[in-house]
Amino acid sequence: MANRELADIFERIADFLDINGEDAFRVNSYRRVARALEDLTEDVADLAAAKRLEEIPGVGKATKEKIEQYVLTGHVALHDELKASMPDGLPALLEIPGMGPKKVGLVWKELGVTNIDELKAAAESGKLATLKGMGAKTAAHIVQGIAFLAQSRGRTPLGLALPLAEELAEWVRRIPKAKRVEIAGSLRRGAETIGDIDLVCESTDGAAVIRAFGKLPLVVRVLAGGDTKGSVIVRRRDGEEVQAQLRVVPKESFGAAWQYFTGSKEHNVRLRGLAKEKGWQLNEWGLMDGEKRLAGAEEQEIYDRLGLKWMPPEVREGNREFEPKALARGLIDRQDIRGDFHMHTTASDGTLTAAEMAAAAAALGYEYIAIADHSKSSTIANGLSVDRMWRQIEKLRKLNEKLDTIAVLVACECDILGDGSLDYPDTILAACDLVVASVHSGMKQERDKNTARVIRAMENPLVTILGHPTGRLLNKREPMDLDMEAIVEAAARTGTALEINASWQRLDLNDRHARLARERGVMLTIDTDAHSAQQLEQMSLGVRTARRAWAAAEDVLNTRPLYAVKQWIAKKRKKAAK
């Protein structure tokens, strides 16, 4: 489907218009359509052919004509014109954390900056700090952002890598002589970003499989090929390229190879050490006692022969997984999730109504959801004014009364303001079933101020969950500078849950901070922050992160039945009543 490419074009049109200082309403109209196109489950070309483009949220006469133009020609004239009017290196500035379209337009028009190198030079020379609205601190942050961008390039977020790997694996399974095919590497371990994609295949004719691998439709170019290993370049859905390796082994070695190429390196070193203690050898071909193969066809055999329980891939990091009672509690699974506390609707910046989101969640088998649209200060996300929020509360109460398949909880995503106060008065927060409090602006304050700000918000008895606690965007925005030890301590003291935001761009809390919270007895939630039905599926990414944090179902609030959830929320709220 062309949906993703067209969504990118509309997003870039919005960026270009914003750089040129166009009206915010016009800019946001293109962004809204871009988001709707990305969330479409039908091919936009089919909708155009059926004359159903008006069904796409946000599409009006002008944007409809541009979609039709793209379907017919593969181009949008406005996009091409705007792109041609700007220096080639200018769009790359948008990738730098802290460099939004308005700042890009400012440095271009005032300093003649047209690429990243020129921006860095302008910052280091002091020219950037002289611009209105910039200053020395902002210039320093931009230099840090340039360094962060250079560091993050070449890494693919889990949410982009996983569907690409699954699609690639499915293509390999169609190769005539390929049998079992599985994803390996850090991707199988659920790492938040990966360097490349690793696949393991069982076959009796490795050379034939590798040759066919290099000819698959997803392959951009072949890097290397042989009898047991092939390496190619494939393209991510955002247009960036990523390397993929396929290892081919016989049936008797498949389990050993899958284990070996899953890693991590530290985990494998420990396993080989245990094998060596017994006088054996362990590698990708099997567990060997001289010429005799002791195990290798299945992963389970390797662990069994070494006197170990099979270990979930997410914990294979060479940390504590080898301790005798390390995995006694078990890890949370996707099927343990009963609901989702953080999603958005058309009331703010979502693409579906509350009723439609409820129906989509019910189809996933959820017992409950919480609708948490943005508060008034999030103007870019169409945040609800106080009056609109009161109407939203009434509307959601009525919706919940009508539904018998799923419970709809009234919530809001309330902005934490610069001083730690909240964007809504307590009267509104008390009228909600739960409150997700999040930072969306002013993240560049010093660590002490950021930390105090968040802690003050958690100390409000009406705040249930701290949403996406560090505010990071993978490969795009660094996390807010916070004293996470102090944040976790405050969460434990105040009875506030910390969110693992499952959006592929966030995965925030990360696995390390989630592990810290779990070890201190802090309740976690795993929420999708979904703005569409399709994004509800990102729950699995959050579960992977929780598993990497060694979280069990009991550590996560939304694995509990609704009555238990309400009891947990009530414990903190009793403080407000007092």
Does 334-577 match 3-152 at the fold level? no
Residue 147, C-beta contacts closer than 8 angstroms, at least 6 positions apart:
none
| The pLDDT of residue 41 is above 90 | no
CATH-assigned architecture of domain 3-152: Orthogonal Bundle (1.10)
User: Which of 552, 431, 478, 531 has the alpha carbon at shortest distance from 142?
Assistant: 478
| The pLDDT of residue 2 is above 80 | no
Topology at the third CATH level for domain 334-577: TIM Barrel (3.20.20)
Q: What's the 3-state SS for 329-390? A: CCCCCHHHCCEEEEECCCCCCCCCCHHHHHHHHHHCCCCEEEEEEEECCCHHHCCECHHHHH
**Confidence tier at 578 by pLDDT (50, 70, 90):** low
Express as a percent the part of the chain with pLDDT over 70.
Answer: 99
CB neighbours (10 Å) of residue 21? 13
Give mean pLDDT, residues 357-386: 96
Q: What are phi and psi of 530, to 5 degrees?
A: -70, 140
| The pLDDT of residue 8 is above 70 | yes
Token reading at 542: 């959050």
Domain boundaries, the chain: 3-152, 156-315, 334-577
Lowest mean pLDDT of 27-31, 183-187, 278-282, 515-519, name the range: 27-31
| The pLDDT of residue 576 is above 80 | no
| pLDDT tens digits along 422-439 | 999 999 999 999 999 999
| pLDDT tens digits along 74-118 | 899 999 999 999 999 999 898 887 788 999 999 999 999 999 999
Residue length of the chain: 578
Residue type, 479: P
| pLDDT tens digits along 194-240 | 999 999 999 999 999 999 999 999 999 898 889 999 999 998 887 78
> Looking at residue 568, what is its pLDDT?
97
User: Which of 56, 77, 57 has the alpha carbon at shortest distance from 66?
Assistant: 77
| Total-model pTM | 0.82
Token reading at 70: 């793209």
| pLDDT tens digits along 535-546 | 999 999 999 999
Concatenate the DSSP letters of all residues of 439-500 into one string: --S-TTS-HHHHHHHHHHHHTSTT--EE-STT--BTTTBPPP---HHHHHHHHHHHT-EEEE
Topology at the third CATH level for domain 156-315: Beta Polymerase; domain 2 (3.30.460)
| pLDDT tens digits along 284-339 | 999 999 999 999 999 999 999 999 999 999 999 988 999 988 888 999 999 999 99
User: Which of 246, 252, 263, 266 has the alpha carbon at shortest distance from 182?
Assistant: 246
In terms of Cβ atoms closer than 10 Å to its own Cβ (0-12, 13-18, 19+), residue 568 is middle
> Looking at residue 575, what is its pLDDT?
67
Give mean pLDDT, residues 360-373: 98
Residue 294, C-beta contacts closer than 8 angstroms, at least 6 positions apart:
280, 286, 287, 288, 301, 305
**Confidence tier at 577 by pLDDT (50, 70, 90):** low
Eight-state DSSP code of residue 42: S
- Half-sphere exposure at residue 149, Cβ-oriented, CA atoms within 13 angstroms: 18
Are residues 249 and 201 in contact, defined by beta-carbon separation less than 8 angstroms? yes
> Looking at residue 3, what is its pLDDT?
82
Concatenate the DSSP letters of all residues of 188-255 into one string: HTT-SEESEEEEEEE-S-HHHHHHHHTTSTTEEEEEE--SSEEEEEEE-TTS-EEEEEEEEE-GGGHH
Concatenate the DSSP letters of all residues of 298-341 into one string: SHHHHHHHTT-----GGG-SSSSTTSTTTTTT----GGG--EEE
